Amino acid sequence: MREYGLYINGEWIKSATGRSFMTKNPANGETLAFIAQGVKKDVDKAAEASIKSLPMWKKFPPPKRGEILLKAAATMRRRKDELGEMVTKEMGKVIAEGKGDVQEAIDFLEYIAGEGRRLLGETTPSELPNKICLTLRQPIGVVGCITPWNFPMAVPCWKLGAALIAGNAVVFKPATLTPLCAATLIEILEEAGLPPGVLNMVTGSAEEVGEAIVQHPQIRSLSFTGGVAAGKDIYSKAASLLKRVGLELGGKNPQIVMDDAHIELAVEGVLFGAFGTSGQRCTATSRLIVHEKVFPEVKERILERTKALKIGDPLDPKIDVGPVASQEQEKKILSYINIGKKEGAGLLCGGKKLKGGIYDEGFFIAPAIFEAQHGMRITKEEIFGPVLSLIKAKDYEEAIAVANDVEYGLSSSIYTKNVYLSFQAMQDLEAGVTYINAPTIGAEVHLPFGGLKNTGNGIREAGSEAIHEFTEIKSVFVDYSGRLQKAQIAAS
């Protein structure tokens, strides 16, 4: 049985209390590893190591930082099958998606490594002669990164890769459900040559470790992906300390199907969007808004395809849907299914905890489809599970209105062959991401990722925006006139 301590100043050490916890396979309850249970004292130690390493890392040439990330990406590519299996065992997503999680991590590390040769600023003319104006991007300092369990390789790489290439030192807290993936990622970065103290990992609870990271006075910036309530709590506490905060929170993502859509393609898309990762994505398709003219056909086809999905051991490549990630997740999802029934939504299929055989050892829920009315709680609140609401709309305008009438704005989708409506939807859908004739999931790492409203606070991850989250901008004025020049003040 593997055991992992905290990773501080380049060493694996026990927590201050000596306590540990287990990480388990949600498909069968198998214990995968024992992980150190960190506390505030450990966060203080991690922050101290980060502070000491920061001057060296800031001066480390950015292209050389990029070489380290490229080496890590190469190792992950070489070990992709093994790492994908680890993701599947610890998180529960099917093996193809487990490998996809790793591939996304590889893609981002390769992409962000290139920023080591860019870190672009601006140059502009001055209003005065013999003077030049420019901007530089500089690291913030010590940053805290708190990551979720649903993408245990990809999301940490999004945050850590961008923070490190920019020259920051990092205190990292991974989700307690998937610490083995995080520990393995640390090993890979260490092997790639990351200097001691630049990246420090403290595993443990949000109440102890997460809170200590948020409150630590020398951790100047926070990057968090998770639930809205936790995000708001972090944001409010960090505001009193004038910390920069990047939040990527929830979603209630719509897929619109117009009457001229390629129906089979739309059905294929919503199956993957709603039930991929057992619906445990912030970008999961949780609402299917269908034009009334094609509603009966779409309903019939989606039910037929959903009932045929194979649910079981996620390591089996023939399986379509694996378990949800934990007993707590299972309980929450089943409670929302009961809420839907009580609200009067028609449960068309699924929605039950599966029992017998392998199901008795894990957390398996049959994918659920409700025929629902807009305004029901199941159509407005994030469930984060394999639950889809099927909603009828009389035309494009009503479909857009329903799509936008939620507190979130992460991802969105429309299926139509009408070029006019496609471009209109790009403008009308209130979301940070919009897909045309594709499901609401499947972000590519070279485009910014994030959302509107309660999905976050305006920060974008990935793409050209990734570096902005972890850098300060400095304006520089170089006067080579050899005399005092006063901007905005006329010469006497």
Model pTM score:
0.96
- pLDDT tens per residue, range 366-415: 999 999 999 999 999 999 999 999 999 999 999 999 999 999 999 999 99
- Whether the CB-CB separation of 384 and 329 falls below 8 Å is answered with yes
Quick one: which of 245, 316, 268 has its CA closest to 415?
A: 268
**pLDDT > 70: what percent of the chain?**
99
Mean pLDDT score of the chain, rounded to an integer? 97
Q: What is the pLDDT of residue 356?
A: 94
Spell out the domains of the chain, with CATH numbers in brackets.
Answer: 2-249+456-476 (3.40.605.10), 253-436 (3.40.309.10)
Averaged pLDDT, 11-19: 97
Q: Which helix (H) or strand (E) covers residue 317, if one does? A: none
- Whether the CB-CB separation of 152 and 182 falls below 8 Å is answered with yes
As to burial, measured by CB atoms within 10 angstroms (0-12 exposed, 13-18 middle, 19+ buried), residue 384 is buried
Q: Which helix (H) or strand (E) covers residue 158, if one does? A: helix 154-165
Query: Is residue 492 predicted with pLDDT exceeding 60?
Result: no
Cα–Cα distance measured from residue 137 to residue 352, given in angstroms and rounded to the nearest whole number: 52
Per-residue confidence band for 490, with pLDDT thresholds at 50, 70 and 90: low
Averaged pLDDT, 261-272: 98
Q: What is the pLDDT of residue 1?
A: 78
Q: What is the pLDDT of residue 489?
A: 85
Buried b (16+ CB within 10 A) or exposed e, 289-315: bbbeebbeebbebbbebbeebebbbbb
Query: Is residue 336 predicted with pLDDT exceeding 70?
Result: yes
Averaged pLDDT, 20-41: 98
Higher pLDDT, residue 156 or 442:
156
Per-residue confidence band for 488, with pLDDT thresholds at 50, 70 and 90: confident
Q: What is the pLDDT of residue 281?
A: 96
Quick one: which of 301, 24, 403, 392 has its CA closest to 177?
A: 24
Which residues are part of the catalytic machinery?
248, 282
Per-residue confidence band for 487, with pLDDT thresholds at 50, 70 and 90: confident
**pLDDT > 90: what percent of the chain?**
98
Both tokens of residue 82? 């093994």
Q: How far is CA 365 from CA 106, 310, 372, 485, in A?
A: 31, 12, 20, 71
Quick one: which of 110, 74, 80 has its CA closest to 95?
A: 80
Query: Is residue 491 predicted with pLDDT exceeding 90?
Result: no
Quick one: which of 145, 173, 26 has its CA closest to 89?
A: 26
3-state class (DSSP) for residue 126: coil
Averaged pLDDT, 215-232: 97
DSSP H helices, 388-444, are 396-404, 419-428
Phi, psi of 328, deg, nearest 5 = -65, -45
Looking at the DSSP bridge assignments, the partners of residue 413 are 255, 435
